[in-house]
Amino acid sequence: MTKTAKAKLQQIQSVKGMHDTLPADQPLWEKIRKTAKTVADFYNFKRIDVPLLERAELYERGIGADTDIVEKQMFLFSTRGKERLALRPEFTAGIARAFIEHGLSQLGSPLKLFSEGPLFRYEQPQAGRYRQFHQLNFEIISNDDDPIYDAQVMIAFWRIVESLKIKNASIAVNSIGCKNCRPAYRKQLTAYYKDHKDQLCEDCRRRLETNPLRLLDCKEEKCRELKKEAPIMIDHLCSHCHDHFKLVLEYLEEIKAPYALDPYLVRGLDYYTKTVFELTAEGVDFSLGGGGRYDYLMELLGGKNAPAVGFAAGVERIIETIKAQNVNLGLKEKAKIFLIYIGDLAKKRCLTIIEDMRRNGIDVAESLGKESLKTQLNLADKAGSPLALIFGQKEAFEDSIIIRDMTTGAQETVPLKKLAESIKRRLV
Ligand code: HAM
């Protein structure tokens, strides 16, 4: 390549709204994933993985054609075979499809499922809002709508947040009714907003015809003002939804979950019925996650009736909360013992010593690319290693090795055969 051609090559940047997770952040990510897995295992949620790509129609039908996600936020494309596909913007619709496709109802009821991984939404990136983000997703699919399941998913969510030492978390809860009681409420809400149509933002004027419940979720100041006088769903619940919601709250009280009623809470996905909820915490102004009950989704996707409830927590938002609250999770990596060599013969044999340590379950750090003893000792010191192993020409000939206590500086030569045993004795 000529010099001018090289100069023309521009550095390639990451795609807008999509981020690298660098090594320094990996321990925190790992901790969050581990915490979610521990909670999932304890409450008997089985892992399910669904593809990153699905037919666009799955989300159009499942999430709803008039939702922001489907209207504006899907990464859509056509394949060479002219299939319309979408990068998954959420897990729930994909899990519902898999549940139907594989007849997972045969696994028994309730079926508790856990997923985690990346999702994609074409949004305007800002704090807590990205184009690629990650969720921890929990679902309980059943053959009835027992409110105990609503409480159980909320408890699982709360336990994750609590285990991650996030302070002052609170679950906002509401019921948005079912297909029996919601239409009458919808009518009343529409009538209320129609009377104030000229005070609404442009988006809400349009939504008034398609999805009036979404008006309660508008962030525009003038729409937020109007909301204060709007009719609320809990005043219009049918007796089944009313009793259902009452039990959900009683179960949350039983376990002393930090919940608060929010009669204006609606969610941005159309499949919800009855319970909806979002979890917030001190120090951040976004919700860490949300969820709710979706009793008709399976039928909407061509399956049999299977009421369900679930939630998804946003990993990036959890991380931002942990950072905003200065939570100390004690994530310092445990220092390893450090293997130091002197001379080419020793360097070569270090490869065997490392394998020996691996077989004995002893973690070793090394810097075999560095020759200077001083540099290697400095690195061992920087890494906070409790012990250094020093292996030189003499030791290589004698099949021995020096163990140096990095705190006291005391050294002892031991036979290579006894190395693992000697280290274990020192590390207890
Ligand atoms: P959602 O409210 O759309 O619900 O998303 C859940 C969580 O995912 C949000 O509260 C947030 O933490 C995170 N999240 C969503 N969009 C973004 C973004 N652009 N950037 C960063 N984080 C984001 C659902 O996805 C439902 N499927 C939840 C559910 C499961 N309902 C029942 N089961």
Last residue of a domain, one of 268, 297, 324: 324
Cα 65 to Cα 56, 58, 82, 185, 269, distances in angstroms: 11, 10, 21, 21, 10
For residue 154, pLDDT beyond 70: yes
pLDDT at 31: 98
Give yes or no for a contact between 279 and 171, defined as CB atoms under 8 angstroms apart. yes
> Percent of the chain, pLDDT > 70?
98
Q: Is residue 204 part of a domain?
A: no
Residues 254, 352, single domain; the answer is no
CATH of the domain at 67: 3.30.930.10
Residue 59 identity:
Y
Q: Residues 144, 263: one domain?
A: yes
Residue 11 lies in a domain: no
Name which of 317, 275, 305, 311 is nearest 45 in CA terms: 311
265 plus 385 within the same structural domain = no
Last residue of a domain, one of 324, 358, 392: 324
Whether residue 4 has pLDDT greater than 90: no
Ligand 1 mutation pick, 297, 316, 317, max ligand atoms within 8 A of CB:
317
Determine the pLDDT at residue 210. 85
pLDDT of residue 219: 86
Same domain, 243 and 343: no
Which residue from 16, 63, 90, 217 has its CB within 8 A of the most atoms of ligand 1, so it is best to mutate?
90
What is the average pLDDT across 230-255? 97
Question: What's the mean pLDDT when you consider all of the chain?
Answer: 95
* 145 and 83 in a common domain: yes
| Residue 195 located in a structural domain | no
Verify that 271 and 346 share a domain, yes or no. no
* 112 is a domain residue: yes
Domain check: are 266 and 357 in the same one?
no
Query: For 287-335, how does the pLDDT look when each residue is reduced to its tens digit (9 = 90+)?
Result: 999 999 999 999 999 999 999 999 999 999 999 999 999 999 999 888 8
Give 50-102 pLDDT, tens digit per residue. Answer: 999 999 999 999 999 988 999 999 999 999 999 999 999 999 999 999 999 99
Residue-level pLDDT at 230:
95
Mutate which of 16, 32, 135, 171 for ligand 1 pocket (most atoms within 8 A of beta carbon): 135
Tell me the CA–centroid distance for residue 255 and ligand 1, in Å: 25
C-alpha to C-alpha distance for 224 and 264, rounded to whole angstroms: 10
Q: Distance, CA 315 to ligand 1 centroid (Å)?
A: 10
- Testing ligand 1's pocket by substitution, the residue of 73, 133, 176 carrying the most ligand atoms inside 8 A of its CB is 133
Residues 31, 173: one domain? yes
* 390 shares its domain with 259: no
Q: Give pLDDT, residue 170.
A: 97
Question: Are 315 and 360 contained in the same domain?
Answer: no
What's the gap in Å between 305 CA and the centre of ligand 1?
Answer: 24
Residue 229 maps to a domain: no
| Number of structural domains the chain divides into | 2
Residue 224, in any domain of the structure: no
* Domain CATH code at residue 342: 3.40.50.800
Predicted confidence at residue 333, as pLDDT, reads: 83
Name the residue with the closest Cα to ligand 1, atom 16.
Answer: 129
Q: Are 358 and 284 in a shared domain?
A: no
Q: With 80 as the cut, is the pLDDT of residue 7 above it?
A: no
**Is 344 part of any domain?**
yes
Picking from 324, 350, 369, the residue at the C-terminal end of a domain is 324
Residues 32 and 136 placed together within one structural domain of the fold: yes
Kindly state the average pLDDT of the residues 344-350: 97
Is a pLDDT exceeding 90 seen at residue 377? yes
Check residue 99 and give its pLDDT: 98
Q: In what order do the strands lie in the sheet with 259-261?
A: 46-47, 111-120, 132-141, 308-314, 289-293, 273-280, 170-175, 259-261
Q: What is the mean pLDDT of residues 387-399?
A: 97
Residues with CB under 6 A from ligand 1: 90-92, 121, 123, 128-130, 133, 135, 137, 139, 268-269, 287-292, 294, 310-314, 316-317
Q: Which atom of ligand 1 is nearest to the CA of 90?
A: 25
**Is there a domain that residue 16 lies in?**
no
What is the residue range of 154's domain? 23-181+237-324
Closest approach atom of ligand 1 to CA 318: 12
